[in-house]
Amino acid sequence: AELLAERYHFNMGLLMAEQGHLQALGHWEPFLLLFVSLSQVLHLLGPKTEADLEKKPKAAKARIAPAEKQKAAVVENGEEGTETRSLLEQLRGEALKFHKPGENYKTEGYVVTPNTMALLKQHLAITGGQVRTRFPPEPNGILHIGHAKAINFNFGYAKANSGVCFLRYDDTNPEKEEEKYFTAIREMVEWLGYQPYAVTHASDYFDQLYTWALELIRRGQAYVCHQKVEEIKGHNPPPSPWRNRPIEESLLLFEDMRKGKFGEGEATLRMKLVMEDGKMDPVAYRVKFTPHHRTGDKWCIYPTYDYTHCLCDSIEHITHSLCTKEFQARRSSYFWLCNALDVYCPVQWEYGRLNLLYTVVSKRKIIRLVETGAVRDWDDPRLFTLTALRRRGFPPEAINNFCARVGVTVAQATMEPHLLEACAREVLNEQAPRAMAVLEPLKVTITNFPALKALEVLVPNFPADESQGFHKVPFQPTIYIEETDFREEVDKGYKRLAPGQPVGLRHAGYVIAVQNVIKDASGHVIELEVTCTKSDVAEKPKAFIHWVSEPLACEVRLYERL
């Protein structure tokens, strides 16, 4: 019906998309399919008419007020947007084609065992069918702009579907963890407007994880290995000569690891599986003689991410384990481990990382910048850590809006920083009262100033919305403008002040024209003498410039890209 109504103005891309489904069935060659489709269209519509050759008129866009635009992008007080789809709309219900709680088995690649349905039934009894997500940062650094997407996705998906989100610290590497990181991570989550359902730690479950490790050995699915780290690095390491050692021997050796009888690197517990990227027998436990910030020196063995992550998700009855694309290779080990222990198995879903050009977001690289003194600290305003963005003045709504615009994509997104800055401007336009400021002042004397005493000019606090009030600005015979707003010679396209080219003074109601240019001994312009005319009688100028009079001195920090 749409094709007949719109004829050759119809979006043929929709037909191409349908063809993708047919190609997937394997019955059609792409070119043959395209030929058949277009042949049918030609047969149905016949030759093009004059009306078909005319350009399709563009639909008029509804103008959206600035206040509505802000709602358009994010999770802000639970409001939905009106312009593009808000993050809540992107994450709600069927939008992402995610499984419903308890229907994990409907997900492609999910491994179903004889116990799966009984475990899912128990899971539903505990959660009541509630969506549960988690944000699981490692407390070894400050969160950055990429984490903002993860926070918005995890907390946003739970919020959009009336669920809950855990903040779980993945504190399994005591060598790199510091209390300041725990505090800063929670601070940033709350600064972005989210409240965790519960704050948990991987270390809360160390006893249970150890018990399960013993069970894994008893089931013949894990063994103690003595290969060195260097030997098992890479994608084609030699198989472990200890892979088939007796179960009782591995149990005794694992107990010796726990008691500190092996040095660091002398023994590991490895799981018997091959991961999607070809990595064989990932490590589950390693020896580290480093006291833990929460458990002290109770443990000298610590679980790895590959072992801990899925089991903590299982303990907390997470329904959707959302993580970035680089963890896709670990999905098979995620399912394998839960099923090897016969525990509830959540579903891991991957999405694309968010990166920015002209900066680094890798915690390892940022630590190096801090340690070498290239930047002051994690909150150096040239970085794109969340603490740095907050210090620089970015509102949290702007960061959330930016994440909503990037969208929930599977492909990795590498964005320009100016897109984030544009989001900041939109929010600040609504929230921050405007002030005029001059960074590189050039003195301007008005020789025919219209009054014997100084005037005061009313300037709107928010130029786009004058209903939010005004403030008074002094207007005297001496004002200051930006040096860059004046040129002695006019180039094509230059519209600001120059000899013979007047400009308007923003909010003052006057147009000024240059009469005399005063220079110092080196030929540098230090002052302009101008005359002024009221705007309503002067010819309309090409531009209006900002200015200050009786100015206050202030410190302004300008930051370039790293």
Query: What's the CA gap between 266 and 208, in Å, rounded?
Result: 24
Q: Name the catalytic one among 138, 350, 527, 529.
A: 138
Task: Pull the structure tokens for residue 216.
Answer: 């894994």
What length does the chain have? 562
Known catalytic membership, residue 365: no
* Residues 142 and 385 sit within 8 Å (Cβ to Cβ): yes
Instruction: Show Cβ contacts of residue 410 under 8 Å, excluding neighbours closer than 6 positions.
Output: 325, 350, 351, 352
Q: Name the catalytic one among 7, 258, 325, 353.
A: 353
Task: Pull the structure tokens for residue 207.
Answer: 């006893």
Task: Pull the structure tokens for residue 341.
Answer: 């222990």
Query: What's the CA gap between 188 and 170, in Å, rounded?
Result: 16
Known catalytic membership, residue 353: yes
Task: Pull the structure tokens for residue 350.
Answer: 């991957």
Helix, strand counts (H, E) of the chain: 18, 19
* Residues 518 and 478 sit within 8 Å (Cβ to Cβ): no
Query: What's the CA gap between 234 and 279, in Å, rounded?
Result: 8
- Distance of alpha carbon 182 from the chain centroid: 20
Query: What's the CA gap between 395 and 384, in Å, rounded?
Result: 13
Exposure string of 407-422, with b = 16+ CB inside 10 Å and e = fewer, is ebeeeebeeeeeebee
> Which position has the token pair 């229907």?
103
DSSP 386-439: HHHHHHHT--HHHHHHHHHHH-S-SS-EEE-HHHHHHHHHHHHHHHSPP----S
Q: Given the DSSP bridges, would you call strands 132-135 and 164-169 parallel, antiparallel or unpaired?
A: parallel
Structure letter (DSSP) for residue 326: G
Q: Name the catalytic one among 363, 397, 426, 496.
A: 363
- Distance of alpha carbon 129 from the chain centroid: 28
Task: Pull the structure tokens for residue 522.
Answer: 């080196």
Closest Cα partner for 257 from 244, 274, 270?
270
Known catalytic membership, residue 368: no
The total of other beta-carbon atoms located within 10 Å of residue 160's CB is 22
Query: What's the CA gap between 74 and 81, in Å, rounded?
Result: 7
Closest Cα partner for 331 from 273, 409, 272, 285?
273
Q: Given the DSSP bridges, would you call strands 470-475 and 455-460 parallel, antiparallel or unpaired?
A: antiparallel
Task: Pull the structure tokens for residue 453.
Answer: 């005493």
Name the residues annotated as catalytic. 138, 353, 363
